[in-house]
Structure 1
Amino acid sequence: MENFTDELAEGHNFSVSVSGVPESLETTRYVVQKILVPFVAAIGLLGNSLNVLVLRHPFMKGISTNFYLFVLCLADITYLILTLCLSFKHCSDSDQHVSAFYFIVYARPLTDLAGNVAVWITVVFTIERYIGVKHPLKGKIWCTVKKAKVISFLTFILCLGNTFPEFFEMKIVTTKNGNHECKYTTFSQHSSYQIGYYWWFVTIFTFIPCCVLFVCNSLLIKTLLEAKRKRLTLILSDRSRSKPSLKRKMEQHKVTLMLVTIVILFLLCQLPWTILLLYRTYLSEHNMPEPINDIRIAGNICNLLVQLNASVNFYLYSFFSRKFRKTICRIFFSPKFESDTSIL
């Protein structure tokens, strides 16, 4: 859960000054939050903005996979904007305007919501791609834009419902000297909530998605290898199909490979954060001492990996998809567009 690791990354004791912070942690925070996060977020916002422009182009809108990728872009943009703002706004800064405190309190769960939507949209389009590749006839019936819109809406509602309790975890209080502080609510301090909700959360948004993605990705990789062998056989055979048909199949396999790459990158960027979360929860449940500064340093790095994952999809699309590159060129360099109905 990004909110949880954000807490670890910041090391917020929300009513206590951050004086006495070890130099290693202070250096990590400065490098990650003040230098790397703005750089990664800027690249990601630029790339995802171009993604939205391309994926909502008339020649790209008729494919369900493209709609899922469009929703993923919106989630990533929201996530990057909020994390960028949160890297400069902290509850430990008692001199900031009260509106900044309220922004922090509500931006944290909204960041989680955007991240969680991205997780499950990734799961959904991976399952859809597997259906389309393995069962193409059923895919034509099940994998439609209309169904993609319904599933995306239901995914958002599911994520909102599971993230909703986080909006009540913190509150703003006024001190005797007129300053403001972020405080955890009594509700969020109950051990049953801390243990039960966090384990429920990590199951719904970590364990299950990662397991589903691992299985589906393995099956897609197997399908790609089988398709490559068949394609080589067709090329070498005298009975090979027409070049346009073969070219289209190769483009389809590139799209599948692109989605496989997206999922692999997703898993690589999410697993360190997941391991850190489980490690911290395990220590807490067993009343074991925490190497808190090391955990906070790791939290900064894990958050950066998640932000990196939200920033690179445009560059993957451009690398793998010929149609994506052609659409970009047509949007920026040609006033007229030619119809192209192939996926992505």
Structure 2
Amino acid sequence: MVISPNETSSIIEASGINSLRTNFDWYPFYPGKCPPSYYIILQGICAPLIIIISTVLNSLIAVVLLQKHLRSATNILLLAIALYDTLTGLFPFPACIYVFTFKNCNDYWPYNYGWFHRVNYEVLPFIFHTCSIWVTVVLAIQRYIYVCHSGKAKHWCTVRMALKAIACVNLLALIVAVPMFLEGSFHPITVRSLLDSTKTFEACIVRDYSKDPRFSTLYSVYSVLRALLINVGPCTILVILNAILVHRMKAAKQNRARLMRKRSHEARAQEQTSVTLMLVIVVTIFLIVEVPMALHLIITGLLQLLKSNFLSGFLNFSVQLLNFAVLLSYPINFFIYCRMSRAFRDAFTELLCPSKIQNRQDRLPSTALRLINKQYNNDDNYNHLECNNNNNTHIETRNSIIKIQPSSTVIFNHRADEAHISLTPSLNSIDIQHNGTKNSPDSTMKQHVLFRDDKITSKNKRLNNL
């Protein structure tokens, strides 16, 4: 049952409101007219499911990145993105369930629900999504500084600067969202329920100032400027920075063999390239869903300025698909981190199953020893090697038995914003004796390793970047 225009007019006049057609509208749907079926499927079935999955996966990301040994400027920004994406989905979740899943659109909406729906379904998701967009831009700028201007990274790529950038982004998002609170005003009206004619209650109608001829031009300009500031501008910056980072990664890959002579330096460069590649993929997925949204907002704003209804049906349909695509992109970051970041995988595995990490750490000295033996057995000149330093660590080989007494740590912090686990123990003093014979490959495989204090605990790790 749908209320007729005459019945609507009589109800409005009884409430002291003169005209519904010119100044007021039912919020957000005309009573008794539910949205199309595709709208119900996307917003009432698919969206709640994606929001639940995204919340779980982003919570796991937050738990991993909050560990002390993973605190760095890059990881702080990744943590902020995960948090903003989660909040962008959580706040409209109740509205999706109430309106679309249970189809509570076949009657008037209660007056008390008007502002709740407006704030939770439209304003707050916009604020948090804006924060997510600009924190992604900050992340790309930080990686650009680190790759292209590494000398300035110590000053700009710090945790304090990352927190300041996040605070500025929050302030920017709040300022941009202020007109959304002033875009309309809600008013109560006493109506008779469409489902139960004996029941009356206060329904919600809204005065939409963006449709008022006195303010329509102002709000159209605001829509275009908002699209430029929130969508087009960030996407343009990200496309440029992404192109630069991809070019630098290709150049680094071509020149790594020539520039990096030592294995440790080569591993270090490879690690930073992997981090950059991971962030480039994150930004690329972001651009795939945000660029079409930016074009949609620009076209919509221009049509409002021209007061044209051209493509209105297509734009209403496409915006639902674009919003769902944005929501669908939120859980993807978790799988990117798991696939491309060993530090993230190790930290995540340690949370779920610490015994696996402990077993891997117990096997680390044996792997390091095989690397040492491979290096020295390939050279006939290494019959006697002795290196003295302060910690007096010894490797002694007698009758194919090796005893290693390492120093207390095997972790080296090369820079403030990155750290690496050395593939070999710290050998401050090495003494190898062969009893007149050289080790054969078979004898090398039979060697036994005895370590004192050889375990690496998570408290000693400092893997600042994923």
- TM-score, normalised relative to structure 2: 0.65
Residues in 2 aligned to 1:148 and 1:180: alpha-carbon distance in whole angstroms: 46
Which structure: greater strand fraction? 2
Residues in 1 aligned to 2:83 and 2:278: alpha-carbon distance in whole angstroms: 19
1:100 aligns with 2:110: no
- Secondary structure of 1:87's counterpart equals helix
Give the CA deviation at 1:59.
0.8
CA spacing shift, 1:266–1:96, aligned 2, 3 Å: same
Residues in 1 aligned to 2:27 and 2:162: alpha-carbon distance in whole angstroms: 42
Residues in 2 aligned to 1:229 and 1:305: alpha-carbon distance in whole angstroms: 36
1:134 aligns with 2:148: yes
Higher relative contact order structure (alpha carbons within 8 Å, sequence separation ≥ 6): 1
1:193 aligns with 2:218: yes
CA spacing shift, 1:74–1:55, aligned 2, 3 Å: same
1:184 aligned residue (207, 210, 215): 207
Partner of 2:429: none
Give matches, 1:52-63, under 5 Å. Answer: 52-61=62-71, 63=72
- Secondary structure of 2:128's counterpart equals helix
- TM-score, normalised relative to structure 1: 0.86
1:157 aligns with 2:171: yes
Partner of 1:120: 134
1:241 aligns with 2:262: yes
Partner of 1:343: 465
Give matches, 1:289-300, under 5 Å. Answer: 289-300=309-320
Residues in 1 aligned to 2:64 and 2:162: alpha-carbon distance in whole angstroms: 18
Partner of 2:38: 28
CA contact (8 A) 1:94 1:181 kept: no
1:310 aligns with 2:333: no
Partner of 1:148: 162
Residues in 1 aligned to 2:296 and 2:318: alpha-carbon distance in whole angstroms: 8
Deviations 1:233-271 (A, max 9, x none): 46xxxx7312x3322221211110111111111111012
Partner of 1:4: none
Give the CA deviation at 1:36.
1.7
Residues in 1 aligned to 2:211 and 2:463: alpha-carbon distance in whole angstroms: 51
User: Unmatched 5+ residue regions in structure 2?
Assistant: 1-25, 192-200, 356-456
CA contact (8 A) 1:168 1:187 kept: no
Give the stretch that moved more between structures: 268-277 or 127-136: 268-277
- Secondary structure of 1:133's counterpart equals helix
Give matches, 1:227-266, under 5 Å. Answer: 227-233=252-258, 240-242=261-263, 244-266=264-286
CA contact (8 A) 2:245 2:280 kept: yes
Give the CA deviation at 1:302.
0.5
Partner of 2:75: 66
User: Unmatched 5+ residue regions in structure 1?
Assistant: 1-11
**Matched residues, number:** 324
CA contact (8 A) 1:255 1:321 kept: yes
Deviations 1:181-221 (A, max 9, x none): 24134477412331221122111111211111111111011
Residues in 2 aligned to 1:40 and 1:233: alpha-carbon distance in whole angstroms: 47
Residues in 1 aligned to 2:90 and 2:184: alpha-carbon distance in whole angstroms: 21
Match of 2:342, as an amino acid?
Answer: R
CA contact (8 A) 2:57 2:331 kept: yes
CA spacing shift, 1:266–1:332, aligned 2, 3 Å: same
2:246 aligned residue (214, 218, 221): 221
Residues in 2 aligned to 1:89 and 1:164: alpha-carbon distance in whole angstroms: 26
CA contact (8 A) 1:94 1:180 kept: no
CA contact (8 A) 1:169 1:187 kept: yes
Partner of 2:91: 82
- Secondary structure of 2:186's counterpart equals strand
Residues in 1 aligned to 2:86 and 2:218: alpha-carbon distance in whole angstroms: 30
Residues in 1 aligned to 2:60 and 2:186: alpha-carbon distance in whole angstroms: 38
1:37 aligned residue (23, 47, 50): 47
Residues in 2 aligned to 1:212 and 1:342: alpha-carbon distance in whole angstroms: 26
Which structure: greater helix fraction? 1
- What CA RMSD, in Å, does the superposition of the two structures yield over aligned residues? 2.4
Match of 2:65, as an amino acid?
Answer: L
Give the stretch that moved more between structures: 122-131 or 137-146: 137-146
Which of 1 and 2 has greater Rg?
Answer: 2
CA spacing shift, 1:188–1:72, aligned 2, 3 Å: farther
Deviations 1:69-128 (A, max 9, x none): 111111111101123333234495645554433211211111100010001000011001
Match of 1:60, as an amino acid?
Answer: L
Deviations 1:153-187 (A, max 9, x none): 01111111111121222333211223322413447
